[in-house]
Chains A and B, each alone.
Chain A
Amino acid sequence: MRARVHVTLKPGVLDPQGAAVLHALGSLGFDDVDGVRVGKVIELELSDTDPEAARARVDAMCRALLANTVIENYDVEIA
């Protein structure tokens, strides 16, 4: 079973990388972009076979390590 975790900055937290990417897109002529936020995708190979149990484990992993909940939100997909 595979899990995919999306880690994104919370709304309102300044994202200097997003601002730099927005600026670079503008300089390439993509001037129709109003905002860019840069996040991370983490893929996990799990030995769990029960989707609910897997989701609970990955949620615990996010809170313990994968995301910094002071500044980041996370979202878990189980496949």
Chain B
Amino acid sequence: MTLRAGVIVFPGSNCDRDMAVALRAAGADVTMVWHKDASLPAGLDLVAVPGGFSFGDYLRCGAIAARAPILRAVVDFARAGGHVLGVCNGFQVLIEAGLLPGALMRNARLKFICAPVGLEIATTDSPFTRDYAPGEAIVLPVAHHDGNYHADADTLAALEAEDRVAFRYARDINGSMNEIAGILSANRRVLGMMPHPERAVDPVHGGIGGKRLFAGIAAALENAAVQGA
């Protein structure tokens, strides 16, 4: 079974094609999905919400995109057990849509950060991180102004207790609580992360730290399809 993935495209998305390239390199069949569509193509295994500056980051990053017609379909897809990956602005959109808890605020030192950063794999218990080693150090690029993860004390404690932090920054770069760079939903099928795995899947990118994320999700969903058949 080939992984069937949809990549959502908003006005202002700028990592949508990179995401499609990374997914196709992992063997996925990829369909681009326009934000005004009210439904997803039938039979998708994975929806990816890409990075960029959807709707110009007006009001709050991701706020307008989270109310776009297609997001209702993405929320329904996730609530029905579908897998969703949100990267950078996509992470902001998933939080604004209520699929992941907390908020992403302006970076603590106010700078837009565009750099490769060291990350720690905080859990391998997810289809996205299963091909990494626990605690493994990887490098992925970040490019954001609003990646400062904030949550109330109860939410933060629950994320830690339930092993739902997927990635942590090796050192503080943006003020994020507990150095959180990516988190999972309670059912571990929705991942939101600020670093860009799709920009690190080919040696010409300067690193391949993101390659196993796409390989992992493709293998996990192919196995699920085989077992379900």
The residues of B that contact A71 with a CB separation of less than 8 Å are 103, 105, 150
A16 touches B109 (CB 8 A): yes
Which stretch in B59-67, B119-127, B129-137 binds the other chain?
Answer: B59-67
Most chain-B Cβ atoms within 10 A of its Cβ — which of A20, A64, A66, A71? A71
Taking CB atoms and an 8 Å cut-off, the chain B residues in 61-115 that contact chain A are 63, 67, 96, 101-103, 105-110
From the candidates A14, A65, A66, name the one contacting B175 in the complex (CB within 8 A).
Answer: A14
From the candidates B67, B103, B109, B110, name the one contacting A65 in the complex (CB within 8 A).
Answer: B67
From the candidates A13, A17, A64, A66, name the one contacting B150 in the complex (CB within 8 A).
Answer: A13
User: How many of chain B's residues have a CB under 8 angstroms from any CB in A?
Assistant: 19
B110 touches A68 (CB 8 A): no
The residues of B that contact A13 with a CB separation of less than 8 Å are 105, 150
The residues of A that contact B105 with a CB separation of less than 8 Å are 13-14, 16, 71
From the candidates A14, A66, A70, name the one contacting B108 in the complex (CB within 8 A).
Answer: A14
B110 touches A17 (CB 8 A): yes
| 3 A-B pairs with least C-beta separation | A70-B103, A71-B103, A16-B106
Interface, chain A (partner B; CB < 8 A): 13-14, 16-17, 20, 64-66, 68, 70-71
A-B contact pairs, 23 of them (CB 8 A): A13-B105, A13-B150, A14-B150, A14-B175, A16-B107, A16-B109, A16-B148, A16-B175, A17-B106, A17-B110, A64-B67, A65-B59, A66-B59, A68-B63, A70-B101, A70-B102, A70-B103, A70-B150, A70-B151, A70-B152, A71-B103, A71-B105, A71-B150
